[in-house]
């Protein structure tokens, strides 16, 4: 069987560091899909952040609680109505947007509950992924989601171009776009959509986006 190209895991420690560098000290931060709370611990201890985690997986939820972290167990696709608007300075979603059923709704909720959203996504425009599809005719597989096409939790596949287009469609302002190449964030990378394994976006809403959030807020009954 031909070897499969695997994207570096965007949830690794180097990605945590890239996220950490975007957040000033003393901010209120909610980590959506927080897992076992690894990033939250660093935000609390290194940034003196007031943190909250959101996690659906029971085992991960219990591990995060075991670290003394405040965590809510809920499904992002069922909305975040339990979190009041404007409660946080930053909402974080790392390597999860491609797994949720309603990514635009989740992004709108992120910017309802926080002033800015930090989103890390895999870049399926990477040149090695393209080469695998062209030469092998195979669906790409990542290290963090090592599944075949028939059992992958990936529901959506996007490149950096797609993320820019989505932000424009939703009238979100891209405050920063950081391609992650070889585990490092590169501010002005040439041919970033070809070279970046993943990318970090800092998004901010505006008046049009705020109206979209008010008229298209998620309700639990919508996703049951």
**CA dihedral in degrees (202, 208, 211, 213; nearest 10)?**
-30
Which overall architecture, per CATH, does domain 6-217 show?
3-Layer(aba) Sandwich (3.40)
The answer to whether 46 and 40 are in contact (CB under 8 A) is: no
pLDDT, one tens digit per residue, over 139-188 is 666 553 455 544 554 545 777 778 888 889 999 999 998 888 777 777 77
The answer to whether 200 and 178 are in contact (CB under 8 A) is: yes
> Which residues make Cβ contacts (< 8 Å) with residue 185, sequence separation at least 6?
18, 21, 178, 179, 200
Report the distance separating Cα 164 and Cα 144, nearest Å.
23
Q: Residue ranges of the domains in the chain?
A: 6-217
**Residue 30: pLDDT above 80?**
yes
pLDDT, one tens digit per residue, over 179-203 is 887 777 777 776 667 677 788 999 9
pLDDT, one tens digit per residue, over 77-133 is 888 999 999 999 999 999 878 778 888 999 999 999 999 999 998 887 665 666 666
pLDDT (average), residues 213-223: 41
Rounded to two decimals, what is the model's pTM?
Answer: 0.77
> What pLDDT was estimated at residue 29?
98
Give the chain as a 3 state SS string: CCCCCEECCCCCHHHHHHHHCCCCCCCEEEEECCCCCHHHHHHHHHHCCEEEEEECCHHHHHHHHHCCCCEEECCHHHCCCCCCCCCEEEEEEECCCCCCCCHHHHHHHHHHHEEEEEEEEECCCCHHHHHHHHHHCCCCEECCCCCCCCCCCCCCCCCHHHHHHHHHHCCCEEEEEEEEECCEECCCCCCHHHHCCEEEEEEECCHHHHHHHHHCCCCHHHCC
> Which residues make Cβ contacts (< 8 Å) with residue 41, sequence separation at least 6?
67, 69
The answer to whether 109 and 85 are in contact (CB under 8 A) is: no
pLDDT, one tens digit per residue, over 54-93 is 999 999 999 999 999 999 999 998 889 999 999 999 999 9
The answer to whether 77 and 99 are in contact (CB under 8 A) is: no
């Amino acid at each position: 069987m031909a070897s499969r190209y695997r994207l570096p895991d965007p949830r690794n420690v180097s990605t945590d560091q890239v996220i950490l560098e975007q957040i000033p000290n003393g901010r209120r931060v909610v980590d959506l899909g927080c897992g076992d709370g690894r990033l939250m611990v660093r935000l609390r201890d290194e940034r003196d952040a007031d943190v909250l985690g959101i996690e659906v997986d029971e085992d991960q939820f219990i591990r995060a609680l075991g670290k003394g972290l405040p965590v809510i167990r809920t499904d992002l696709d069922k909305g975040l109505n339990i979190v009041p608007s404007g409660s946080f300075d930053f909402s974080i979603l790392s390597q999860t947007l491609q797994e949720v059923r309603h990514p635009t709704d989740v992004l709108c909720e992120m910017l309802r509950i926080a002033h800015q959203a930090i989103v890390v996504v895999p870049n399926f425009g990477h040149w090695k992924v393209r080469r695998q599809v062209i030469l092998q005719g195979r669906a790409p597989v990542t290290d963090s989601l090592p599944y075949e096409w028939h059992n992958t939790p990936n529901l959506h596949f996007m490149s950096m171009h797609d993320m820019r287009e989505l932000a424009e469609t939703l009238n979100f302002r891209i405050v920063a776009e950081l391609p992650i190449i070889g585990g490092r964030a590169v501010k002005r990378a040439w041919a970033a959509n070809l070279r970046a394994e993943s990318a970090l976006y800092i998004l901010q809403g505006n008046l049009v986006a705020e109206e979209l959030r008010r008229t298209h807020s998620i309700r639990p009954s919508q996703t049951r």
